[in-house]
């Protein structure tokens, strides 16, 4: 009986201190809207469960004790108006009706503040990677009366986020960009990798732009993250790399045009000398010497791209050499190239043009070839066509444009024989008739005649004499 009395006494004593509440909430707005109410597990509202959802703006909070609620108000249809959020703390023995009037409107001067930023390195070599980091805040801030750790239900994320674009620039050139939806009152870390390919000093900046229809105006943010110095560490003098070695090597020059032996047509012709140059040091300058006259380059010479010097020439034959000098006074040049400029030949038919001709024959493998220059009249101007023509294949080796060896292996297609061979012909050499030949050796001695052919000739003569004698006997 004693324990029961004590328990009953405690209930009687505690009961008056358990506070109950019964609140009616009425929310009014300028556009149709939806209200979602979540009950929080504690004052941080970092975790919550749905308590009520209404489109009338009216709901009730009933219960007892000390509780926190989060009220989300947002337009019922897509209208590009900023939603609202409120935190409600109920802890009194409270009853009655609470009326709230809210206005949905666009946000003024939306901005994605850059809270922090950093560079992974400020001095790198070419092809090294630099990481640029930035922490960016949402354009929609959380109201001061709402806990900063408030959990926004996943189904409401799109409504309570700002679409923010973050761009990284190196000396004003876009080197990285990313876009993300940042939840209201939240922030997000962005990271960009940049690999420079050219030496120099680069100012790195980060820019944020809010791309959101709920904003009536934008306030773009930009900060200078720092400066990155890029070197190539090859002592080429592009920047001060602390190199002390002396450059004694001449620049290496490669000519890509014109080609040796090339012919240009025109009363005047602008010949473009295209060349590349490579060297340890800076290139001070280059010039082309055309038949004793120098034409310098008027622009800076590049070691990573082709260079060009244009020279206007009249009709004539020319020789040219390209020279380049470096900062250590070393001079390099190409081998001499020969070319010509010729005036156009005017014509009405092909016979008005230069007659076709061939260059000296040459060998390609075991075949004989020649370069054929043929001319034709095209639109009143003689046009040259240069082609490589097959002459013949050799039975033996081809040497210096001629087929070598003996036994009928001719050097070309003109039925001529090697100068070292002698030939004896038997029979009619008229058109369409076959012709027998005996090939003699290089010696002038008649005794070196092939014995096989000699016996054949003697046999034919013997048969003819025998037939003649038989005819004489029959006629007697």
219 vs 445 pLDDT, higher one: 219
The residue behind tokens 């046999």 is 459
DSSP E strands, 197-333: 200-210, 221-231, 252-257, 262-265, 268-278, 283-290, 293-296, 307-314, 316-326, 331-333
pLDDT at 244: 47
Residues β-bridged to residue 374: 385
The H-assigned helical ranges of 95-135 are none
- Cα 70 to Cα 85: distance, rounded to the nearest angstrom: 7
pLDDT band, very low/low/confident/very high, at 170 (cuts 50, 70, 90): very high
CB atoms under 10 Å from CB of 126, counted, come to: 16
Tell me how far CA of residue 452 lies from CA of 385, 417, 426, 438, 456, in angstroms.
50, 21, 15, 10, 6
79 vs 422 pLDDT, higher one: 79
* Six-digit token string for 410: 């001719």
pLDDT at 21: 85
What number does CATH give the domain 114-231?
2.60.40.10
Give the three-class secondary structure for 346.
Answer: strand
pLDDT at 459: 87
Lowest pLDDT segment from 170-184, 228-242, 307-321:
228-242
Q: Do 114-231 and 252-332 show the same overall fold? A: yes
Mean pLDDT of 206-226: 89
Q: Are strands 221-231 and 123-125 parallel, antiparallel or unpaired?
A: parallel
pLDDT band, very low/low/confident/very high, at 366 (cuts 50, 70, 90): confident
pLDDT at 357: 83
pLDDT band, very low/low/confident/very high, at 457 (cuts 50, 70, 90): confident
The answer, yes or no, to whether residue 433 has pLDDT greater than 60, is no
Mean residue pLDDT across the chain: 80
The arrangement of secondary structure in 252-332, i.e. its CATH architecture, is Sandwich (2.60)
- Cα 155 to Cα 137: distance, rounded to the nearest angstrom: 21
- Structural contact between residues 439 and 422, judged by C-beta atoms closer than 8 angstroms: yes
- Cα 44 to Cα 87: distance, rounded to the nearest angstrom: 10
Those residues with Cβ within 8 angstroms of residue 173's Cβ, 6 or more apart along the chain or in another chain? none
Mean pLDDT of 141-152: 87
The answer, yes or no, to whether residue 419 has pLDDT greater than 50, is no
Strands of the sheet containing 130-137, edge to edge, are 114-119, 130-137, 187-194
Q: Write the class of the CATH domain 2-102.
A: mainly beta
Q: Burial letters for 39-58: b for 16+ Cβ neighbours within 10 Å, e otherwise?
A: bbeeeebeebeebbeeeebe
pLDDT at 408: 40
Lowest pLDDT segment from 60-69, 171-180, 258-267:
258-267
pLDDT at 405: 45
- Cα 196 to Cα 194: distance, rounded to the nearest angstrom: 6
Mean pLDDT of 60-73: 91
pLDDT at 414: 47
pLDDT band, very low/low/confident/very high, at 1 (cuts 50, 70, 90): very low
Lowest pLDDT segment from 183-197, 230-244, 260-274:
230-244
- Cα 311 to Cα 296: distance, rounded to the nearest angstrom: 10
Tell me the per-residue pLDDT of 120-133, one tens digit each, with 9 for 90 and over: 999 998 888 999 99
pLDDT at 450: 55
Tell me the per-residue pLDDT of 403-412, one tens digit each, with 9 for 90 and over: 874 434 444 4
pLDDT at 453: 78
Give me the residue spans of the domains in the chain: 2-102, 114-231, 252-332, 350-446
pLDDT at 19: 60
The answer, yes or no, to whether residue 52 has pLDDT greater than 90, is yes
246 vs 221 pLDDT, higher one: 221
181 vs 18 pLDDT, higher one: 181
Residue percentage of the chain with pLDDT more than 70: 82
39 vs 388 pLDDT, higher one: 39
Q: Which of 244, 181, 243, 247 is nearest to 210 (CA)?
A: 181
pLDDT at 273: 92
Lowest pLDDT segment from 197-201, 331-335, 472-476:
472-476
């Amino acid at each position: 009986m004693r324990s029961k009395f004590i328990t009953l006494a405690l209930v009687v004593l505690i009961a008056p201190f358990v506070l109950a509440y019964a609140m009616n909430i009425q929310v009014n707005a300028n556009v149709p809207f939806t209200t979602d109410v979540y009950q929080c597990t504690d004052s941080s509202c970092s975790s919550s469960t749905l308590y009520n959802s209404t489109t009338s703006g009216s709901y009730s909070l009933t219960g007892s004790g000390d509780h926190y609620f989060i009220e989300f108000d947002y337009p019922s249809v897509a209208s590009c108006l900023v939603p609202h959020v409120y935190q409600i703390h109920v802890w009194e023995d409270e009853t009655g009706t609470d009326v709230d009037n809210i206005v949905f409107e666009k946000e003024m001067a939306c901005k994605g503040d850059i809270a922090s930023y950093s560079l992974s390195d400020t001095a790198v070599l070419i092809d090294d990677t630099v990481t640029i980091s930035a922490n960016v805040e949402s354009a929609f801030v959380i109201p001061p009366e709402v806990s900063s750790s408030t959990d926004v239900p996943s189904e409401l994320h799109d409504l309570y986020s700002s679409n923010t674009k973050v761009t990284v620039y190196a000396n004003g050139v876009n080197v990285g960009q990313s876009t993300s939806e940042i939840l209201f009152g939240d922030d997000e870390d962005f990271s960009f990798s940049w690999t420079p390919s050219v030496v120099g000093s680069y100012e790195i900046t980060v820019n944020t732009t809010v791309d959101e229809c709920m904003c009536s105006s934008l306030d773009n943010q930009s900060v200078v993250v720092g400066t990155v110095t890029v070197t190539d560490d090859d002592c080429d003098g592009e920047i001060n790399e602390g190199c002390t070695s002396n450059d004694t090597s001449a620049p290496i020059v490669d000519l890509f045009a014109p080609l040796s032996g090339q012919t240009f047509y025109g009363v005047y012709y602008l010949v473009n000398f295209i060349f590349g140059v490579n060297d340890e040091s800076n290139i001070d300058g280059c010039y082309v010497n055309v038949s004793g006259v120098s034409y310098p380059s008027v622009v800076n010479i590049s070691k990573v791209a082709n260079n060009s010097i244009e020279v206007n020439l009249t009709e004539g034959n020319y020789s040219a050499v390209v020279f380049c000098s470096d900062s250590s006074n070393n001079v390099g040049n190409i081998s001499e190239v020969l070319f010509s400029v010729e005036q156009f030949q005017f014509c009405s038919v092909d016979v008005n043009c230069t007659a076709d001709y061939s260059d000296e024959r040459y060998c390609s493998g075991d075949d004989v070839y020649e370069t054929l220059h043929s001319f034709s009249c095209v639109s009143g101007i003689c046009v040259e066509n240069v082609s490589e023509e097959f002459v013949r294949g050799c039975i033996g080796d081809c040497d210096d444009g001629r087929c070598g060896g003996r036994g009928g292996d001719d050097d070309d297609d003109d039925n001529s024989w090697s100068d070292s061979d002698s030939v004896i012909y038997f029979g009619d050499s008229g058109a369409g008739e076959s012709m027998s030949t005996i090939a003699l050796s290089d010696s002038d001695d008649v005794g070196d005649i092939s014995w096989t052919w000699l016996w054949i000739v003697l046999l034919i003569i013997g048969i003819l004499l025998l037939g003649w004698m038989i005819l004489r006997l029959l006629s007697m």
